[in-house]
Amino acid sequence: MNTTKVKRRVGKYELGRTIGEGTFAKVKFARNVETGEPVAIKILDKEKVLKHKLVEQIKREIATMKLIKHPNVVRIYESLLCLPPFSSPLMLLKNQISKANHGRMREDEARRYFQQLINAVDYCHSRGVYHRDLKPENLLLDAYGNLKVSDFGLSALSQQVRDDGLFHTTCGTPNYVAPEVLNDRGYDGATADLWSCGVILFVLLAGYLPFEDSNLMILYNKISAADFTCPPWLSFGAMRLLARILDPNPMTRVTISEILEDDWFKKDYKPPVFEEKYDTSLDDVDAVFKDAEEHHVTEKKEEQPTTMNAFELISMSKGLDLGNLFDTEQEFKRETRFTSTCPANEIISKIEEAAKPLGFDVQKKNYKMRLENVKAGRKGNLKVATEVFQVAPSLHMVEVRKAKGDTLEFHKFYKNLSNSLKDVVWIPEEDVKDQAAQSKNNT
C-alpha cells in the first residue's frame, strides 16, 4: 500500500508546513519545484480580505515593497509575498533570542543583527518608506543568519504625510512604539522607526523589554519618560548608544547617520551586499480580487461590535479616563467617548431613544449609528456619528463625534444626550466616591 503523502502545490511551488499565522493570512514553507529553491509563501484569506476591505492595503504593501531592494529586507516574487532562499527551518529572530543564553545575546551577535537592521531601515527611509511596526516578530533570519525585515502591512510612504510634514496615524505595537506616536500630535516616520530599533537592540542585549507593565497607563508613562534601566552586563558603549536612541524627544534623538558613526556600532561593521535586480507586478492581485466591489455590497452583517485592543485605547485616550463622558476640558472638541457595562444592543437602543426626542433621524448599521438633525442649523444639518466598541466581554466604549455641522450645536446636543444616558455611562467606583464627597462639600 502506497502511504506517500501527496503535497499541495500553488503554481510552481510545493507547499510544506505552516511557519506563521495571522488574522488574514498564513505563511507556509514552500519549494520551487523547477529550481529546488526554498521560499516562504504568504497565503491570504480572500473572504476576510474582501470583507474587511483590505485589497487596496495589500496592493499598497506590494507596491511599497517593490521600492525596497535590499539584502536585509524580504523580497517579492510574482504576486506572492515571498522571502529569499531559506534552508529549513525558517527562523524568527524572536525564536533566536529565546534560544540565547538567559534569553539574551552576546554583544557581538546582537551588534551584527542591529547593524543589518539599521542598514535595512536606512535604505527604506531613503526610498521614502517607513515601516512603523518594527519588532522581533517582524524580523526573520535566513540560513546564513542574515536578518530580513518583513511585514510592511503598516508601512507608509512619504507622500502620506499631512501639510505639517508629519504622520498622524497611530499604529504599531505598544512596547515598541515611540512616545510621540502615543501622544497623537503627529510624528516623523524616520525617528519613530529608529526608536523601535532601539527597543529591539535593548531586547537583544538584555533579554527583556525596556518598557513593560500590565497597567497600560503606567506603560504609557514609562515610554513617554523613557523610564528604563540598562542591565549591568552591558558595555558602556552599548549603554550610551541605547540612551541616544531611546531619547523621548524626537528632535534630539540620534539619527541613523549618527549611529553609523558610533564607535560601538562600527565594530566589525560590514556594508550590505546587494542582490540582482528583480521586479513584480500587481496584475495578478487585480485578477484575484476583481470581484471585490461586488463582495463589498453583499458582505455579511457583523454580529458583534468591533473589538478594540489595548494599544488603540492608549492612542484614543491619553489618560484612559473613559468614565467621564463630558469633560470641561473637551469644550471645543468635536468628539468624546464614554464606557458602559451595558450590552451593546442596549447602548444602541438607549442612544436612539435619547436622540429622537431631540429632533434627530437615526440610521443604524451593525453597531454604528448616524444621527442627523432634521432642522438645519448655522452650518446646515448637524450630523453625529456614533460607534460601539468592545473593550472586554462586559465592557464597551462608545465614541460620539461630530460628522458635519456646527461645533457649538454639537456641544449642546451631547450635553442633552448625556442627561438621558446617565444609567448607561459607567463611572468607576473611585469617581463615584469623589463625586459624593464633592456634593457633600458643596452642601
Known catalytic residues are 133
Q: Which residues pair with 144 in a beta bridge?
A: none
Annotated binding-site residue? 267 = no
Report d(CA 156, CA 244) in Å as an integer.
25
Q: How far apart are CA 174 and CA 193, in angstroms?
A: 13
Cell of 48: 476576510
Angle at Cα 258 formed by Cα 255 and Cα 264, nearest 5°?
120
Q: Shortest CA distance to 390 belongs to which of 420, 326, 336, 347?
A: 347
Helix (H) or strand (E) holding 332: none
Which DSSP state fits 378?
B
Would you list the DSSP string of 89-145?
SPEEHHHHHHHSGGG---HHHHHHHHHHHHHHHHHHHHTTEE-S--SGGGEEE-TT-
Enclosing H/E stretch for 409:
helix 407-420
Give CA–CA dist 270/108, Å, rounded.
Answer: 13
Give the annotated binding-site residues for ATP.
42
Give the annotated binding-site residues.
42
